[in-house]
Amino acid sequence: AEPAGPGVIDVYDTGELGADVPEWGKVDARAGRAAVTAIEVATRAALDGKVSGIVTGPINKEAIWKAGSKHLGHTEMLGELTGVTRQDTMFVVRNTAAEGHHLRIFFTTRHVALRTALDQITAERVGKSIREAVTALQVFGTEAPRLAVAAINPHGGENGAFGDEEIVHIAPAVEAARAEGLDVSGPVPADSVFHQGLVGRYDGVLSHFHDQGHIPAKTYDFDGTISVTVGLPILRTSVDHGTAFDIAGTGRADHGTMLSAYLAGVDYSPFAERIRRTYG
């Protein structure tokens, strides 16, 4: 859409639905196809430099699967559209206890069963995730990032009494990163590391499985926490929640997280060219 000027929302109709609008709150292949098309159009606009970035709402995975998509969700779809095979999630907690400080949370593993995630924790994988997190912090404006790496076991494993992942995998990865000159701390017990990040001690926290990072962020500030996909050659911010079909069309949905995703997109738009150079 050609910009209509400041303060005007430009709506681009992909033409997928027309007048045949699906029923509210029902899984429908037509709606899934419309969602996929919108993502494709927006991504192409960002790749072509017509927009500084894209902001995505939630998509219903069952609907996009009915439409023929083979992807697990947005992230995998965006990876294929941009030619990227490795993407990471960066949660941004915008409203923190330290004024002007945004805590960023990263993940060693993402959408896998917890048993599988624990099996995937290796020194090599944690080390790679540390370096990717530090790079992302730098790309998004933190010149000298301080990263904390969470422990997995209670009390950080108590020197092996409660598990040895910290000794065998996490600590060696942290030590190797520090030897390269990176400001990395850990393993820090997970029941305190997120609080320390929220009050400004760290710029980022590397968590190791989905809920380890999601639960503290969403409990602390559900509406102020948003997701950024790092590793793509384009800026992409998003909400951190699902489609809430149970209240679709009722007027009861809270727009808070969507607003935060837009504001984060505005905040990070000056880094669009840096993102392209780093991940392109």
**Mean pLDDT, the chain, as a whole number?**
92
Per-residue pLDDT of 202-223, as tens digits, reads 999 999 999 999 999 999 998 8
Q: Per-residue pLDDT for 2 more than 80?
A: no
Q: What is the pLDDT of residue 19?
A: 83
More confident residue, 4 or 232: 232
Q: What is the pLDDT of residue 176?
A: 98
Q: Per-residue pLDDT for 107 more than 90?
A: yes
Q: What is the pLDDT of residue 240?
A: 81
Per-residue pLDDT of 25-55, as tens digits, reads 999 999 999 999 999 999 999 999 999 999 9
Instruction: At 116, list the tokens.
Output: 């599988």
Per-residue pLDDT of 48-93, as tens digits, reads 999 999 999 999 999 999 999 888 778 889 999 999 988 889 999 9
Return the percentage of the chain with pLDDT > 90, whole number: 76
Contact 59, 160 (CB under 8 A): no
Q: How far apart are CA 92 and CA 236, in angstroms?
A: 12
Q: How far apart are CA 202 and CA 170, in angstroms?
A: 18
Q: In what order do the strands lie in the sheet with 225-230?
A: 53-56, 235-238, 225-230, 88-93, 103-107, 204-207, 147-150, 184-188
End-to-end CA distance of the chain: 25
Mean pLDDT confidence for 151-178: 94
| Element housing 195 (H / E) | helix 190-198
Q: What is the pLDDT of residue 26?
A: 93
Q: What is the pLDDT of residue 1?
A: 67
CATH number for the 29-279 domain, one of 3.30.230.10, 3.40.50.720, 1.10.10.10, 3.40.718.10?
3.40.718.10
More confident residue, 122 or 70: 122
In the chain, domain spans: 29-279
The alpha carbon of residue 4 and the mean position of all alpha carbons in its chain are separated, in whole angstroms, by 31
Cis bond upstream, residue 187 (ω within 30):
yes
More confident residue, 137 or 17: 137
